[in-house]
Amino acid sequence: MPHIPLRVLVLEDHSFQRSVAVNLLRQLGCQAVFEAADGAEALAVLQACGPVDIALCDLHMEGMDGLEFLQRIGNTGQVGSIIISSSLSGDLRRSVRQIISLLGLEFLGDLGKPLRLEALESLLKKRLRARGTRRPPRRPPEVLQEDEIRHALAEHQLQAYYQPKFDLHTGDVCGVEVLARWEHPSKGVLSPALFMPVLERCGLMDQLLFRQMEQALTLQHKVRGLGHTLNMAFNLQAEQLTNDQLAPRIKALLARHSAVGAGLTFELTENGLLEASETSIKNLVRLRMMGCSLAIDDFGAGFSSLQRLCLLPFTEIKLDAEFVRTLKQEPRCQAAIYSTLALGRALDMSVVVEGIETDEQRRHLLRLGANIGQGYLCARPMSEADLLGWLSQQRICA
């Protein structure tokens, strides 16, 4: 009999099914297998026998149910990971998975009922692999000071990086999203998570935006000289739209670079537009009148998407990457993607699907009717020099 160095607790109120689970785990060679008929008994087992690697949990039980048990053990370190084994409907089990994540517990898998030996063995091996490759906890991110950020802006250390959008059918590049990276002289390339909050707090977002636009429009001119047209997409925050000089400044910048608004897209997250002011709407309208496209970013992550689409002059929907991450496991995500694509067609808006990392996801999205995507499958964000070299090997949409 094989030996698997795992301690497993079976939480199941049906005596026969509990016996089946215990026997399967012992057949697979688990180091120790404990059992309990409800949550209260499971807590007592943990108290008496110590922590376990895995809790195999039913959810609907008399007495303390699986949900309360999970809540009691969240962040206690008593259970390494959770396997759900329940006859509840798929939508309820998916919601429980979210609860597990919010409680700080590791979700290992959902086996449903009845238990199958092969599926259970696969999850046990998954747990062993995870334990063998677990990394030490990350150090908390460094807190950067305002004077450091201002110095970085003055010294042009905050550089525009570019992540392509691509045609899912052909792989052709359709445009790029302009992102910010800090090319620190001693610390290397720093993530925006380290400096963006300081820029926002200190009112420096406009300074960053126009620095990025200067760089991106210069690059756009270079690419145009090579016979290509490359749309540049910039992130805008709702707060920036309250500045009545925003659109005039962008118009002047375009004139200075002999560029046209049709070559630009501005991406706005829906959460920041819950109460758009008169000035905000006026800026959006002026940007559209200049020929710029407007994208609602992270679509589906907020609470008022449809209202925003109806009231504000958007031309593009960027579907949040979370829908793609769970595309294979979550039938509802497939329905949400399909419905968003249909909505885009009905509103005459393009839809860009974010977060595409595998060719399997690309093919699945094509079957759902998607055309344009963004993600690591095509390319990661890159510097201007790297982008120019990369583009020389790619095709660009006309």
Q: What stretches of 181-225 show up as alpha helix (H) in DSSP? A: 192-201, 205-225
Using a cut of 0.95, tell me whether the model's pTM lies above it: no
**Number of C-alpha atoms within 13 angstroms, CB side, residue 64?**
17
Domain 146-391: CATH superfamily is EAL domain (3.20.20.450)
DSSP 61: -
If one counts every other C-beta atom within 10 angstroms of the C-beta of residue 247, the result is 22
pLDDT > 90? residue 214: yes
pLDDT digits (tens, 9 = 90+) for 299-334: 876 555 677 777 789 999 999 898 898 887 778 889
Q: Is pLDDT above 50 for 182?
A: yes
pLDDT digits (tens, 9 = 90+) for 269-287: 766 665 667 888 899 999 9
Of 154, 176, 151, give the one whose Cα is nearest residue 165.
176
- What pLDDT score was predicted for residue 31? 85
Q: Is the pLDDT of residue 265 over 90?
A: yes
Q: Where are the beta strands (DSSP E) in 247-390?
A: 264-269, 293-299, 316-319, 350-353, 372-374
Inter-residue contact 397 to 350 (CB < 8 Å): no
How high is the pLDDT of residue 340? 93
Partner residues linked to 188 by β-bridges: 184
At 111, list the tokens: 């086996």
**Looking at the chain, which runs of residues are DSSP E strands?**
4-11, 30-36, 52-57, 79-84, 106-110, 158-167, 173-184, 188-190, 231-236, 264-269, 293-299, 316-319, 350-353, 372-374
Candidates 3.40.50.2300, 3.40.50.700, 3.30.479.30, 2.40.30.10; CATH matching 4-133? 3.40.50.2300
pLDDT at 60: 86
Considering the candidates 177, 267, 270, 354, report the single residue annotated as catalytic.
Answer: 354
Contact 115, 85 (CB under 8 A): yes
The answer to whether 354 is a known catalytic residue is yes
First-to-last CA distance in the chain? 63
Q: How many CB atoms lie within 10 A of CB 304?
A: 13
Sorted by where each begins, the domain ranges of the chain are: 4-133, 146-391
Q: What is the pLDDT of residue 135?
A: 47
Taking residues 75-83, report their average pLDDT. Answer: 89
When mean pLDDT is compared across 59-63, 155-159, 262-266, the lowest value belongs to 59-63
Q: What is the mean pLDDT of residues 370-391?
A: 94
Please count the helices (runs of H) and the strands (runs of E) in the chain.
16, 14
